[in-house]
Amino acid sequence: MTKPLSNDEFFTQLTSLFQSTTHGSVYLTQKRMPTPQSAPSPTAEVPFPDLAPSAPTSILIRATNGENAKGRKEGKKVKLSTVVESEAIEGFYARYAEVCKGGMVGGLKKRDRSKAKEKLKAKKRKMGGEVKVEGKA
């Protein structure tokens, strides 16, 4: 596993990862870091002690470009990670949202709907000429 980056380095490299990805996906994952103290055992009154931790926990954020096996052999797979302390979570997520939005907007392409509209109009014209009403003459 790669060594966790500082939050600023993570955002810098995540931005460049979004910009360098021409096709495919960028996978973002997050999970709670385990507490350094030993985990308390479940009791009758607290069956799941992990749901109510005694101290705030850190979060591990990971990003990868998800290269396939061939790309991994060539060294094209990019793995990024950072640890966010509980005190800095709000500021981190505000910046994280900005970077993710910027990465999504850059990869979007405007759809060319003119060809589809022309086909639909041609189909309507064709159907209009062939449709015969049966009944009264």
Report pLDDT for 76: 79
Q: What is the tens place of the pLDDT at every residue in 52-82?
A: 666 778 899 999 987 765 665 566 788 999 9
Checking if the pLDDT of 120 tops 70, the result is yes
pLDDT of residue 111: 73
The reported pLDDT for the residue numbered 106 is: 65
The listed CATH number (3.30.720.10, 3.40.50.2000, 3.40.50.720, 3.10.620.30) that belongs to domain 7-38+52-130:
3.30.720.10
- Using pLDDT thresholds of 50, 70 and 90, give the confidence band for residue 20: confident
- Sign of the C-alpha dihedral, residues 45, 51, 52, 55? positive
pLDDT band for position 98 (cuts 50, 70, 90): very high
